[in-house]
């Protein structure tokens, strides 16, 4: 099964009040394992970058000035994600911004039925504790030392690792690998036939005595059909 792990960066927290997308990062997974295929793009938000948002992801107005508008990358983005389920941490936030951009282009929104929210999964599995991405990386011993600032592609890569642990897929793959390593291989061995059969060690007298004994066991014993066999 194909899945897409997705993350975004934005100019702020509220798409309804003019905040815009500035970065999208996606990681393709197949059967819960990353394939190595990714999608990443920076986007010109057509507005200034508030200092609070810049402090989070480090993407300045100047850096984004020559980047494409969302309209220019919408088709390739939609083609990459296809109809696969979208694995997102705090999915309502990211999908709200993406659907707002799609609405500006009069394009169909991505339905929420496609979303797998890893924040909700983490809260069910680890109730009563913080389940930010950094917390989950620490909990599952995932190296996030490169995450000095938020970045959509890096965060999607880390989230893919977290997701594997959240659903227990890493343990399942290890068990499968161990099973494959310890599998017993049956090798067919060709039987050699003697050119000259060995001489029988049973004497004629012993054979006749056995026949006489069998005859005393009844007219229709189970082995009657074999009694005359040599």
CB burial of 126-135 (b: ≥16 within 10 Å; e: otherwise) equals: eeeeebebee
- More confident call, 197 vs 93: 93
> Parallel, antiparallel, or unpaired: how do β-strands 21-30 and 2-10 relate?
antiparallel
CB atoms closer than 10 angstroms to residue 61 = 15
Q: How confident is the model at residue 175 (pLDDT cuts 50, 70, 90)?
A: very low
- Please give the backbone phi and psi of residue 196, each rounded to the nearest 5 degrees, phi first: -120, 115
Q: What tens digit of pLDDT does each residue of 183-192 get?
A: 545 555 555 6
**Between the CA of residue 172 and those of 3, 181, 200, what are the distances in Å?**
18, 14, 57
Q: Which residues are catalytic?
A: 150
């Amino acid at each position: 099964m194909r899945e897409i792990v997705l993350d975004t960066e934005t100019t702020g927290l509220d798409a309804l009040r003019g905040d815009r997308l500035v970065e999208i990062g996606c990681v393709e997974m197949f059967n819960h394992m990353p394939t190595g295929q990714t999608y990443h793009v920076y986007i010109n938000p057509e507005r200034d970058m508030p200092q609070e948002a810049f402090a989070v992801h480090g993407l300045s107005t100047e850096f984004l000035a020559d980047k494409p508008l969302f309209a220019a990358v919408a088709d390739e983005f939609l083609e990459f994600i296809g109809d696969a389920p979208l694995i997102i941490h705090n999915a309502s936030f990211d999908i709200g911004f993406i659907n707002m951009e799609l609405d500006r282009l009069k394009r169909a929104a991505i339905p929420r039925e496609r979303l797998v929210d890893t924040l909700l999964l983490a809260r069910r599995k680890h109730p009563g504790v913080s389940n930010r991405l950094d917390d989950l990386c620490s909990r599952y011993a995932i190296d996030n030392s490169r995450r000095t600032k938020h970045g959509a592609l890096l965060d999607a890569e880390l989230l893919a690792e977290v997701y594997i642990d959240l659903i227990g897929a890493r343990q399942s793959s290890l068990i499968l690998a161990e099973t494959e390593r310890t599998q017993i291989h049956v090798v067919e061995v060709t039987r050699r036939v003697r050119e000259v059969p060995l001489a029988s060690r049973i004497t004629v007298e012993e054979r006749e005595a056995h026949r006489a004994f069998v005859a005393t066991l009844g007219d229709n014993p189970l082995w009657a059909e074999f009694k005359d066999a040599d």
